[in-house]
C-alpha cells in the first residue's frame, strides 16, 4: 500500500489489511493436486536475471514449497530457480546479430515452450526481453497457463497500441514506472505499478567522497563523468562528440578530472581509441573497467547517452546532460511517421513531466552545445542543489520495495485464478 506521496505506508492499518489479503491469497493458491506451486520464469540478460532473483526470493517467502524453473542466470540460480537454459543464450543485441542467431533462438523458443507446458506451471513470468517473452506468453496463455510480463515495454514513448498486443500475451503486467498502468487501463489491461528495484537498491544519499577514494580521485577536484553508452554502436556515434565537449569544459576548468566507465572489454577498446585521439590531458583521464555507478557518484556532473543510465544518475542525485544520436535515415523515418509520442527522452524528465536535464538529440548533439550545457551545471551550484531535492522526491516515488510488491501481485493473481477454477 502506498501513500499519496509515493512512500510505503509501513505499519499503517491499510498495509496491515493488504498484507492480510496477500496472506489469505497465498493460502488459497493450492493447486488442484497436492503438488507445490510451480512458477516458470524467463530472464534474458543480466538486469533481468537480477529482477528475477529478487522476485524468486519474495515468492519463496509467500510459497515456501514452490518450485521455480525456466531461463535465468547466476542470480536466479542462487535464489533457487532451476534453469533449463542460461540467460546468456537470449542476450543478442542489434538487427544483424538477431538475424544471425534467429534459427538458434527459434529452436530454443520451441524447446522452452514445450518443456514449460509439459511442466504445467501455475504461472509463467516473462521478465523484460519482450521480443522473446511476449510470444512465449501468448502461446502459453492460449493453452490455459496464467501469464505475467514483468517490466513494461516503453508504451508511453511510442506506439501505445502495443499495449493491446501485450495484453493478449499477459494476464498481468508489472510496471516499473507510475505513468504506465493508466496507459494499459485505457485498453482494459490489468497492470500494476510495483516500483523500480534500482530505486530500492540505491541509497537515498550517495557518498561522493567514498566513491572518489574508491576510484583514486582527489577529493577537492572537479570531476566530469562521461558515459557514451554500453553498446559499440552508441559509443561510435557519441564518444568523439562527448570527449570533444569534455575537452572544451577542461579548457574552462583547469585540472578537471574525466572518468569514463567501459561496460565491457570491447567497449573499453573503442573508448580507449577515441580518448587517444582526443585533446583531453592523459593525466586527468580515467578509463574504468565497469564501475559506472561509482563514476556517477564521484562526479560533479555527468554527460551520458539517453537510456537507463539517466535513471541511475538521477537516483545518485547528480546533474546530467543527456545526448543521443541514431542513424540519420532511422531518425528521418521515425520523425516522418510520428512514431515517437513523447517530447522528452530522458527518464528523469519523463517522470517529472518537465525538463530537469538538458537533452541534446541528433543534430543538437554536438560538442559546443554539450559543453555549454555541462558548464551551466558547474557554474550554478544553487541549481544543482534545487535539482537534488527534486531527484529525491522522484527517488521516493519509485522506492516501493518492488520485488515484494511484484510478488504480492503475482500471489493475488494466482488466488483469483484459483477461485475461478473452484466448482460452484
Give the pLDDT confidence score for residue 10 in this predicted structure.
Answer: 37
Nearest CA to 180 among 198, 158, 154? 154
Please state the domain extents for the chain.
13-195+400-421, 208-398
Burial of 138 (0-12, 13-18, 19+ CB in 10 A): middle
Which backbone phi and psi does 244 adopt, to 5 degrees?
A: -65, -40
Element spanning 377, H or E? helix 367-379
Residue pLDDT, tens place only, 229-252: 988 989 999 999 999 999 999 999
Q: Please compute the mean of the pLDDT values over residues 104-128 and round it to a whole number.
A: 95
Nearest CA to 123 among 413, 404, 322? 413
Nearest CA to 397 among 173, 195, 206, 174? 195
Give the pLDDT confidence score for residue 26 in this predicted structure.
Answer: 45
Nearest CA to 125 among 43, 30, 23, 29? 43
| 24-28, 104-108, 322-326, 376-380: the lowest-pLDDT one | 24-28
Show Cβ contacts of residue 169 under 8 Å, excluding neighbours closer than 6 positions. Answer: 126, 133, 134, 135, 137, 138, 141, 147, 149
Instruction: Answer yes or no: same fold for 13-195+400-421 and 208-398.
Output: yes
Show Cβ contacts of residue 389 under 8 Å, excluding neighbours closer than 6 positions. Answer: none
Q: Is pLDDT of 60 > 80?
A: yes
Assess contact for 122 and 414: CB atoms under 8 A: yes
3-state secondary structure of 82: strand
Q: Residue 148's beta-bridge partner residues? A: 125, 172
Give the pLDDT confidence score for residue 334 in this predicted structure.
Answer: 64
- d(C-alpha 174, C-alpha 181), whole Å: 9
Residue pLDDT, tens place only, 325-337: 877 776 666 666 6
Q: For 59-135, where are the E strands, in sequence order?
A: 67-72, 82-86, 123-127
The residue among 5 and 102 whose pLDDT is bigger is 102
- d(C-alpha 340, C-alpha 49), whole Å: 29
Q: Is the dihedral of CA 135, 141, 142, 145 positive or negative?
A: positive
Give the pLDDT confidence score for residue 145 in this predicted structure.
Answer: 97
- d(C-alpha 410, C-alpha 342), whole Å: 31
Give the pLDDT confidence score for residue 333 in this predicted structure.
Answer: 67
Assess contact for 193 and 214: CB atoms under 8 A: no
Query: Quick one: CATH architecture of 13-195+400-421?
Result: 3-Layer(aba) Sandwich (3.40)
Angle at 297 between CA 291 and CA 298, to 5 degrees: 90
- d(C-alpha 406, C-alpha 280), whole Å: 46
Q: What is the mean pLDDT of the chain?
A: 88
Q: Please compute the mean of the pLDDT values over residues 255-269 and round it to a whole number.
A: 96
What does pTM read for this prediction?
0.84
Assess contact for 149 and 170: CB atoms under 8 A: yes
Q: Is pLDDT of 197 > 70?
A: yes
Residue pLDDT, tens place only, 10-31: 333 344 334 444 444 444 444 4
Give the pLDDT confidence score for residue 95 in this predicted structure.
Answer: 45
pLDDT band at 362 (very low <50, low <70, confident <90, very high): confident
Check whether domain 208-398 has CATH 3.40.50.2000, yes or no:
yes
Nearest CA to 410 among 104, 62, 96? 62
3-state secondary structure of 316: coil
Give the pLDDT confidence score for residue 419 in this predicted structure.
Answer: 78
Show Cβ contacts of residue 422 under 8 Å, excluding neighbours closer than 6 positions. Answer: none
Amino acid at each position: 500500500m502506498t501513500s499519496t506521496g509515493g512512500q510505503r505506508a509501513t505499519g499503517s492499518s491499510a498495509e496491515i489489511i493488504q498484507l492480510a489479503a496477500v496472506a489469505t491469497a497465498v493460502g488459497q493458491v493450492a493447486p488442484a493436486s497436492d503438488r507445490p506451486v510451480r512458477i516458470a520464469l524467463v530472464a534474458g540478460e543480466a538486469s533481468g536475471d537480477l529482477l528475477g532473483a529478487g522476485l524468486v526470493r519474495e515468492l519463496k517467502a509467500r510459497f515456501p514449497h514452490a518450485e521455480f524453473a525456466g531461463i535465468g542466470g547466476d542470480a536466479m540460480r542462487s535464489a533457487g530457480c532451476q534453469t533449463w537454459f542460461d540467460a546468456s543464450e537470449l542476450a543478442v543485441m542489434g538487427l544483424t546479430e538477431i538475424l544471425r542467431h534467429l534459427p538458434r533462438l527459434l529452436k530454443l523458443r520451441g524447446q522452452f515452450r514445450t518443456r514449460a507446458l509439459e511442466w504445467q506451471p501455475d504461472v509463467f513470468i516473462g521478465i523484460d526481453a519482450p521480443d522473446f517473452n511476449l510470444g512465449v506468453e501468448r502461446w502459453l496463455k492460449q493453452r490455459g497457463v496464467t501469464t505475467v510480463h514483468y517490466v513494461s515495454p516503453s508504451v508511453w514513448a511510442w506506439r501505445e497500441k502495443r499495449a493491446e498486443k501485450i495484453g493478449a500475451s499477459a494476464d498481468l503486467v508489472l510496471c516499473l514506472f507510475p505513468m504506465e498502468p493508466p496507459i494499459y487501463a485505457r485498453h482494459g489491461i490489468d497492470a500494476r505499478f510495483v516500483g523500480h528495484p534500482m530505486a530500492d537498491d540505491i541509497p537515498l544519499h550517495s557518498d561522493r567522497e567514498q566513491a572518489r577514494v574508491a576510484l583514486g580521485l582527489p577529493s577537492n577536484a572537479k570531476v566530469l563523468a562521461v558515459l557514451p553508452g554500453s553498446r559499440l554502436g552508441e559509443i561510435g556515434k557519441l564518444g568523439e562528440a562527448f570527449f570533444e565537449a569534455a575537452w572544451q569544459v577542461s579548457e574552462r576548468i583547469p585540472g578537471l578530472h574525466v572518468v569514463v566507465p567501459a561496460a565491457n572489454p570491447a567497449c573499453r577498446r573503442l573508448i580507449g581509441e577515441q580518448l587517444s585521439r582526443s585533446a583531453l590531458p592523459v593525466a586527468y583521464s580515467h578509463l574504468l573497467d565497469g564501475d559506472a555507478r561509482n563514476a556517477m557518484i564521484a562526479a560533479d556532473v555527468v554527460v551520458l547517452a539517453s537510456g537507463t543510465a539517466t535513471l541511475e544518475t538521477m537516483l545518485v542525485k547528480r546533474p546530467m546532460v543527456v545526448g543521443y544520436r541514431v542513424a540519420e535515415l532511422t531518425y528521418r523515418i521515425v520523425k516522418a511517421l510520428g512514431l515517437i509520442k513523447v517530447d522528452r527522452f530522458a527518464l528523469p524528465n519523463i517522470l517529472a513531466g518537465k525538463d530537469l536535464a538538458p537533452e541534446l538529440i541528433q543534430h543538437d548533439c554536438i560538442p559546443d552545445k554539450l559543453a555549454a550545457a555541462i558548464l551551466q551545471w558547474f557554474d550554478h551550484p544553487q541549481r544543482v542543489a534545487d535539482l537534488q531535492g527534486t531527484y529525491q522526491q522522484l527517488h521516493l516515488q519509485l522506492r516501493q520495495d518492488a520485488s515484494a510488491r511484484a510478488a504480492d501481485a503475482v500471489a493475488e493473481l494466482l488466488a483469483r485464478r484459483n477461485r475461478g477454477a473452484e466448482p460452484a
